[in-house]
Amino acid sequence: MVTKENDKITVENLNCFYSGKQVLKNLNLTVEKNEILSIIGPSNSGKTSFLRTLNRMNDMNVNFSREGNIYLDKENIFDMNPEKLRTRVGMLFAMPIPLPMSIYDNIAYAPRVLGLKNRKNMDEVVEQSLKDAYLWDEVKDRLNASAIKMSGGQQQRLCIARILAIEPEVILFDEPCSGLDPISTAKVEEAMLKLKQKYTIVLVTNNVKQASRVGTRTAFFLMGELVEVDTTKKIFVSPQNKKTEDYITGRFG
Amino acid sequence: MNRKLIDSIIEKIIFLCGIIAIVFVVLIFGFLLKEGFYFFKDYGVFKFVLGQYWYPSSSPAVFGVFALIIGSLLVTLGAALIAVPLGIMTALFISELAPKGVRDVLKSIVELMAAIPSIVLGFVGMVTLVPFIRTAFNIPTGLTAFSGSIVLAFMAMPTIVSISEDAIRSVPWSYKEGAYALGATKWQTIRRVVLKAAMPGIIAAVMLGIGRVIGETMAVLMVTGNASAIPTSIFDPVRTLTATIATEMGETVRGGLHYRALFAIGLVLFSITFIINFIADLFLNKNSKKG
Amino acid sequence: MNFNLNPNLSQKIAYTFLAMATIIVIVPVLTVIFIIVKNGWSALSWEFLTTMPTDGMRAGGILPAIIGTLAIVSCAICITLPIGVCAAIYLNEYAKDNLLTRIIKLAIVNLAGVPSVVYGLFGLGVFVMLLDFGVSIIAGALTLSIMELPVIITTARGALNSVPYQFREASWSLGVSKWQTIRRVVLPNALPGIMTGAILSISRISGETAPILFTAAAFYVPHLPQSPFDQVMALPYHLYIISTQIPNMPKNIIFGTALVLLLMVLSMSLIAIIARIYFRKIRKW
């Protein structure tokens, strides 16, 4: 394993399978500290499978198996307690999934269960998380309202706030704007760019333009393989691989 | 750390309960099998199943359940002939025709119907239906297979109606849309498209309803007359497998041959209903996969 | 046969038949309830509910039968509910989807259809004789609880299953363990479904006769039960006895007993039905 000082996540020879069918092939990739790594590629290219391996959500699926290793700060995540890992590597799903409770409780849920904060500090945690997710002004007067009744964009930012409340080191975004309108998308992207200063971000997106807008670096996945990874500028201006060029110029996918 | 410990203890308790429940399942079958086998070994399977006479207290005692099986089948068949068409039609009415408010009321009534204890239905059948049948058909007694069929039809009805209704309602709207687009009337659509698509679920509903009827004890005991002879018509008194267990178990010598014979009947009942439910389950799964 | 008819006419005829069938199904139910209420109402009094039977049960009240049924049913539900819910949690949330699990699920579904009199046999063989509890409250309660176990497991699994899987994923992704997710997200949202199922189960086992016939019920006990190992009178069995075994039984006492049983059972079902409609309305997702 060769890791540089600046590497947050190092993926080494990763192969993943669902019910024996290979979805990721011999993947080697690093994610650097405080960057946004965008992962683009057509559907079924293994992007989401990769993301769900990074916080071991795939462990919940009995049909899943894998070979190879992933290191978070030089520590193999497959040797870690998966629950502990998930507090360090937060995840935002494609569809916003607020839990069926109040806005306040959604944020306070994980810190309470994990015993991270005492009750006095909880108000501060909730406020700070909502502020960081650019939601505070919209909801500060109705924190006890049900989270289910919010708009889609607000729900997605609530889900971001919920992750921030457990203070992770890495945040995984799984096509976070696929169900959102352009204005809500812009707000989520704005939040992401701010979050980059404090967190390391891996973004899976079907939207090539989104990758070009927010990505520090961009990786292109095809059929479970990593075709190319480089700075976003290079990928979009002078991709090394023909397939990458075809994809980002809209010839397939 | 303490929290983790408590969590893992609770998880262990949950596993344990799961295992307990499973053990009971195995235990019931094993126990009936054991008791039944003792009897079959002593008495002989064929003599038991095909024997025409059930004289448990003569000496030597005779334990032929053929008449009882015929009794159960006759009552069940009668009940099915009444309950199946009525039940499916009611299910169609509730799911396809009734306006929403009426539908909720009808569904609640069907559910209340399921809640009426069989002993109460049996009692009401005994004091109203039985004398009515005696005078209406001018026969010596109203305690007949026919009375049993009517009472049991109403016990099978809630099962048939509610499960059929589920199956009919889960037919995708697009199926109907296709038929409407071709100019079919609503009834033609129901008859040719909806019924066909819902058929596996409806068959399952019928099977489960029949399973319930075969296993029904108290109501049937009170209205069928309890005569253990092979009936020649539906207006004869009959005795069912279940009624035999219920009436005779109290008087047997625990562990004796008669006692074991009743367990053997239990095993027969268990097997019949298990097979029926198994088939119903297959149809239900088929339905849910399509829906 | 309908091919020659005008489709609109045949539709009208069909609808008429469907409506008639529904009436044929619904009317007898209401009639049964009406007959019992009409004939039993006169017997219903505070005294009828709170005194012992006298004169070979031809007079007096039905207190011991009510107490007996309450005792058996409350014991049974206390045994079956926790075990059933835990088993449902195990099967729905923990069990791996392998052949064994599938067999267990199938067995549970099928056991729900086994005749109640067969459970009575099982209870007699295992609890009354093998474990030597005798004919007693505890033997009857155990028999009923085993009979109801598959039903409780099935309804509880349905309730757990209706909680969207994404809620679990969202909770796991925040580092919350499996059990804590079940406790704080899944169970609270499944609880209404589990509770309505439990109420329906209580209603069902209150009216069961066959399973307690040889495990708990007594023809006549001159005093109220003192311990779980006592035989008891029970409402459904009492109704059976007085309507079939005792000559010259006053009609209004039989109907009165039937009415008490019916009220007990139907009121609980009604509560469950209303609760379910209510919870469905306020459901948050």
pTM of the model: 0.87
A225, part of any domain: yes
Q: Are residues B259 and B190 in the same domain?
A: yes
CB pair distance less than 8 Å for C174 and A110: yes
Interchain contact B285–C (C-beta under 8 A): no
β-bridge mates for residue B289, sequence order: none
Residues of C in contact with B97 (CB under 8 A): 15, 18-19
All chains having 3 or more CB pairs closer than 8 angstroms to chain C: A, B
d(CA C234, CA C254): 14
CB pair distance less than 8 Å for C239 and B120: yes
A119, part of any domain: no
Residues of C in contact with A55 (CB under 8 A): 173
CB within 8 Å of chain C, chain B residues 90-149: 90, 92-94, 97-98, 104, 106, 108-121, 123-124, 126-128
How many interchain CB pairs under 8 A, A with C? 61
A48, part of any domain: yes
Categorize the per-residue pLDDT at C3 as very low, low, confident or very high, splitting at 50, 70 and 90.
low
B60, part of any domain: no
Residue C1 has what pLDDT?
46
A111, part of any domain: no
Q: Are residues B33 and B86 in the same domain?
A: no
Chain segment C226-281, per-residue pLDDT in tens: 888 889 999 999 999 989 888 888 888 999 999 999 999 999 999 998 888 888 88
- Interface test mutation site (partner B, options C121, C161, C199, C202, max chain B beta carbons within 10 A): C121
**B77, pLDDT greater than 90:** yes
Q: Are residues B42 and B82 in the same domain?
A: no
Question: Could you tell me the CATH number of the domain that includes residue A17?
Answer: 3.40.50.300
Categorize the per-residue pLDDT at B1 as very low, low, confident or very high, splitting at 50, 70 and 90.
low
B164, part of any domain: yes
Residue C2 has what pLDDT?
46
Residue pair B231/B70 in contact (Cβ under 8 Å)? The answer is yes
Residue with tokens 């502990």: A84
Chain segment B91-143, per-residue pLDDT in tens: 999 998 888 889 989 998 998 888 999 999 999 999 999 999 999 988 888 89
Categorize the per-residue pLDDT at C51 as very low, low, confident or very high, splitting at 50, 70 and 90.
confident
Chain segment B216-227, per-residue pLDDT in tens: 999 999 999 888
Residue A1 has what pLDDT?
52
Residue C224 has what pLDDT?
86
Nearest to A159 by CA among A144, A175, A176: A176
**A3, pLDDT greater than 70:** no
Residues of A in contact with C189 (CB under 8 A): 100
A124, part of any domain: no
**B23, pLDDT greater than 70:** yes
d(CA A152, CA A6): 35
All chains having 3 or more CB pairs closer than 8 angstroms to chain A: C
**A2, pLDDT greater than 60:** no
Residues of B in contact with C116 (CB under 8 A): 215, 217
Q: Are residues B229 and B164 in the same domain?
A: yes
For residue C226 the two structure tokens come to: 């003192």
Q: Are residues B156 and B281 in the same domain?
A: yes
B91, part of any domain: yes
Interchain contact A116–C (C-beta under 8 A): no
For the residues of B81-92, what is the DSSP string, one character each?
A: HHHHHHHHHHHH
Q: Are residues B120 and B264 in the same domain?
A: yes
Residues of A in contact with C97 (CB under 8 A): 62
Chain segment B227-286, per-residue pLDDT in tens: 878 888 888 899 999 999 999 888 888 888 888 899 999 999 988 988 898 888 888 877
* ipTM of this complex prediction, to 2 decimal places: 0.88
**C57, pLDDT greater than 80:** no
Residues of B in contact with C104 (CB under 8 A): 22, 25
Which structural domain range is residue A221 located in? 7-95+162-248
CB pair distance less than 8 Å for C176 and A113: yes
Categorize the per-residue pLDDT at A14 as very low, low, confident or very high, splitting at 50, 70 and 90.
very high
**B161, pLDDT greater than 60:** yes
Which structural domain range is residue B221 located in? 66-290
Domain count, chain A: 1
Domain count, chain B: 2
**B67, pLDDT greater than 70:** yes
Q: How confident is the model over A228-239, as a mean pLDDT?
A: 90
Report which residue type is found at B91: A
Buried b (16+ CB within 10 A) or exposed e, B69-96: bbbbbbbbebbbebbbebbbbbbbbbbb
Categorize the per-residue pLDDT at A130 as very low, low, confident or very high, splitting at 50, 70 and 90.
very high
Q: Which CATH superfamily is domain C62-282 in?
A: MetI-like (1.10.3720.10)
Instruction: Chain B: give the shortest CA distance to residue C95, in Å.
Output: 9
Residue C284 has what pLDDT?
63
Chain segment A62-76, per-residue pLDDT in tens: 788 999 999 998 889
Q: How confident is the model over C119-131, as a mean pLDDT?
A: 90
d(CA C160, CA C181): 12
Q: How confident is the model over C106-132, as a mean pLDDT?
A: 88
d(CA B120, CA B201): 30
Of the listed ranges A107-121, B93-107, C117-131, the one predicted with least confidence: A107-121
Q: How confident is the model over C44-63, as a mean pLDDT?
A: 84
Q: Is A32 helix (H, G, I), strand (E, B) or coil?
A: strand
**B194, pLDDT greater than 50:** yes
Give the residue extent of every domain in chain C.
Answer: 62-282
d(CA C136, CA C125): 13
How many interchain CB pairs under 8 A, B with C? 244
